[in-house]
Amino acid sequence: MTRDPRFDILFEPIRIGPLTARNRFYQVPHCNGMGRLYPSSMIAMRGQKAEGGWSVVCTEQCDIHPSADVASHCLVRLWDDQDLPILAGMADAVHAHAALAGIELVHNGGGMPNNFSREIPIAPSIDFGFGYHPIQARAMAKSEIAAFRRWHKDAVRRAKKAGFDVIYVYDGHDTTLQSHFLSRRHNRRTDEYGGSFEDRLRLLRETLEDAKEVAGDTCAIVIRFTVETNQGPDGDGRAVVEALADLPDLWDVNISDWN
Ligand SMILES: Cc1cc2nc3c(=O)[nH]c(=O)nc-3n(C[C@H](O)[C@H](O)[C@H](O)COP(=O)(O)O)c2cc1C
């Protein structure tokens, strides 16, 4: 079969940081309803995508700590080493067809009711305004921000151990702690993590730098970023891209939030 030469570029390799994807077919993070509940189906589905030709195949959002418990067994998670086998199984299935395996690390901040972990949701400031649940989130102490950075670094370390090549820092869809810190609506802090644009951006910048440090020269660090969330088209989206332009190895950009 012949193909229109305009599409040839889609089949050419492309570099993502230290890695090379064999073509431009890239499956961004999305849930498939299987997750930890049906791990062998999840693994087989992602392996089948690699077999079908996608050069990068990602997980759905993968929560990294019980303080933001997505409370859904149909997603994946990486709280500790016990969560490694399912994710390693997916990375192996993707690698079996010469594709790169991607994982999207997430901490959903004050947006999770934590029905299973029973932890009080955490946010930049006291907040009632998240998502679909009647949640009251408490403000994080500075020591907890430092703890969050450690959880995130541990998750990057574990993702690497599970065999993932592409590791996401997720600031998308108005759902993650980093995006809540960036948001003028959710962040009313008066310390160096709130107020000015640079201060609201601090946590996102730090988690990207932390992830790059842990990833070293064997994994690519990708940011998933929502340009218009909270601030609208006149907000900080463009400024964020300009401020962090060269930090991630790839920008995966959405326009707005889940709604
Ligand atoms: C069922 C479903 C689950 C999704 N799960 C995630 C997810 O876990 N993480 C994420 O970043 N995006 C998720 N998305 C968003 C998709 O990755 C994607 O951004 C969306 O389908 C819009 O496509 P576009 O970004 O190419 O416009 C999900 C979308 C759907 C339809």
Task: Round the average pLDDT of the chain to a whole number and report it.
Answer: 93
Q: What is the pLDDT of residue 128?
A: 86
Mapped onto helix, strand or coil, the DSSP state of residue 128 is: coil
Q: What is the pLDDT of residue 230?
A: 54
Question: What gap in Å lies between CA 170 and CA 13, rounded to an integer?
Answer: 25
Distances (CA, A) of 38 to 58, 63, 74: 17, 17, 7
Q: Residue 168 forms beta bridges with which residues?
A: 104, 222
Confidence of residue 233 (pLDDT cuts 50, 70, 90): low
26-253 carries CATH number 3.30.360.10: no
**Domain edges within the chain:** 26-253
- Whole-number Å distance, alpha carbon 29 to ligand 1 midpoint, is 6
In the predicted model, what is the mean pLDDT of residues 202-209? 98
Confidence of residue 259 (pLDDT cuts 50, 70, 90): low
Tokens 């994807």 belong to which residue?
Answer: 21
Nearest CA to ligand 1 atom 25: 254
149, two tokens: 């950075």
- Statement: residue 26 has pLDDT above 60: yes
Distances (CA, A) of 238 to 226, 241, 244: 10, 5, 10
CA 28 to ligand 1: nearest atom: 17
Residue 241: phi and psi, rounded to 5, are -60, -40
The answer to whether the CB of 224 is under 6 A from ligand 1 is yes
The answer to whether the CB of 104 is under 6 A from ligand 1 is yes
Tokens 């400031």 belong to which residue?
Answer: 125
In the predicted model, what is the mean pLDDT of residues 172-196? 92
87 CB burial (10 A radius; 0-12, 13-18, 19+): buried
151, two tokens: 């959880």
Q: Whose CA is closest to 181, among 198, 203, 196? A: 203
Confidence of residue 175 (pLDDT cuts 50, 70, 90): confident
Question: What gap in Å lies between CA 140 and CA 123, rounded to an integer?
Answer: 6
Q: What is the pLDDT of residue 129?
A: 77
Q: What is the pLDDT of residue 173?
A: 81
Q: Whose CA is closest to 192, among 179, 178, 203, 208? A: 203
- Whole-number Å distance, alpha carbon 130 to ligand 1 midpoint, is 19
Per cent of the chain over pLDDT 90 is 82
Per cent of the chain over pLDDT 70 is 97
pLDDT digits (tens, 9 = 90+) for 208-220: 999 999 999 999 9
pLDDT digits (tens, 9 = 90+) for 102-154: 999 999 999 888 988 999 999 999 998 787 788 899 999 999 999 999 999 99
Question: What gap in Å lies between CA 226 and CA 239, rounded to an integer?
Answer: 12
Question: What gap in Å lies between CA 125 and CA 108, rounded to an integer?
Answer: 14
Q: What is the pLDDT of residue 111?
A: 87
pLDDT digits (tens, 9 = 90+) for 45-103: 999 999 999 999 999 999 999 999 987 788 999 999 999 999 999 999 999 999 999 99
Q: What is the pLDDT of residue 6?
A: 96
The answer to whether the CB of 256 is under 6 A from ligand 1 is no
In the predicted model, what is the mean pLDDT of residues 186-191? 95
Confidence of residue 171 (pLDDT cuts 50, 70, 90): very high
- Whole-number Å distance, alpha carbon 246 to ligand 1 midpoint, is 24
The answer to whether the CB of 28 is under 6 A from ligand 1 is yes
